[in-house]
A = this chain, B = another copy of it.
Amino acid sequence: MISIQTIAKEAGVSVATVSRVMNGSDSVRPETEKKVREAMEKYNYQPNFSARNLRKMETRNVLVLMSSIVNPFLAKVVKGIEDASENLDYHTLVCTTYDSQEKEKFYLDMISKRFADGAIIIGSNLKPQELRKTIGHIPIVQCSEYIVDIGIPRVSIDNRKAAYEATEHLIRLGRKKIAHITVDNHYISSRLRLEGYRQALDDYGIEFDPDMVITGNYGYKNALRQMNNFFNSGKRCDAIFAISDRMAASAIKSAQNHGFKIPDDIAVVGFDNIDICYITEPNITTVSQREHEMGSAAMNMLARLIAGKETCEEIVLSHFLIERGSSVGHR
């Protein structure tokens, strides 16, 4: 193991001087610095992280907790986090929980163990009180998904409003029987999007029909099955608002398999603007978010938190509807 001692000896200086060179102190004579740098070069010296972290009481690591790495929408959010953290001289570590509460607590404990300085949570699976208790006073920011009223700041869009606008878009196209395919989970996005959907129906005088709400999970195959069940049981609609593009893709496929034309018979709107929107035929009308900014805003917030500075409690970013063939046909 090459330690700072080795370098100090080689350069004929004390370890303090070597440390000063590494940390950019301005009280080292240029010639001395040169000797030190040469010694470091010669041995290809790399300072020991653990020792440094132990002494400095900071790691400059931040954890990103998410369910799975495969979501293309979240991948862009994570890129935003990474880019921001690089600017702030932090290092981002992606931790996948696969919805396991145990894993989530494990990762959060890593921060108490001083393995990281803070975390960005994208969709916690812990119960609010449990999350509150687990994190104690460690710096945490919620991103995209969040839990309200537990005093953890967050960055997100206004999901209710976005869903309202998506549904409104369908209503304005003259659709009356609008189905909603969603996921029965604890995520706030699912809940608020359902609320926005219902609110829009309400405001436009369309009666809410529980039969028009289809629940599945985020998987493509599962959503396909749910939609097939819907059509096979004789239910009919003239529009579908899906809480994800994958589910929208399933809806399109299922509808087409049942002989419906998209968008003539059934108009479809998805959510997130991922690549799949271009893969289906027709392409999917969807709600797009500023993913990269969402990530970078969360990271900047976290950095302030770690530094003990003031932060706002909530950042709400804008969203926009992208109209494509699945709702408006070829224009």
Contact = CB atoms under 8 A, between A and B. Distances in A.
B75 A69 contact: yes
A1 to B, nearest CB: 8
Contacts of A110: 49
B50 A220 contact: no
Interface in A40-88: 44, 46-51, 53-54, 57, 59, 68-72, 75, 78-79, 82
B279 A49 contact: no
A158 interface: no
Contact of A109 (B46, B95, B219): B46
Given A69-B75, A276-B279, A48 B54 contact: yes
Given A70-B75, A94-B96, A114 B279 contact: no
Interface string A77-109: 011001000000000011110100000000001
Interface residues of A, number: 46
Interface string A202-220: 0000000000000000011
Contacts of A48: 54, 113-114
Given A49-B113, A54-B48, A280-B279, A93 B96 contact: no
Contact of A278 (B1, B94, B115, B220): B220
Nearest to A69: B69
B59 A68 contact: no
Contact of A221 (B71, B75, B79, B278): B278
A51 B49 contact: no
29 contacts: A44-B112, A44-B136, A46-B109, A46-B114, A47-B113, A48-B54, A50-B54, A50-B114, A50-B115, A51-B54, A68-B75, A69-B75, A69-B94, A70-B70, A70-B71, A70-B72, A70-B75, A78-B96, A79-B98, A82-B96, A93-B94, A94-B95, A94-B96, A220-B275, A220-B279, A253-B281, A276-B279, A279-B279, A279-B280
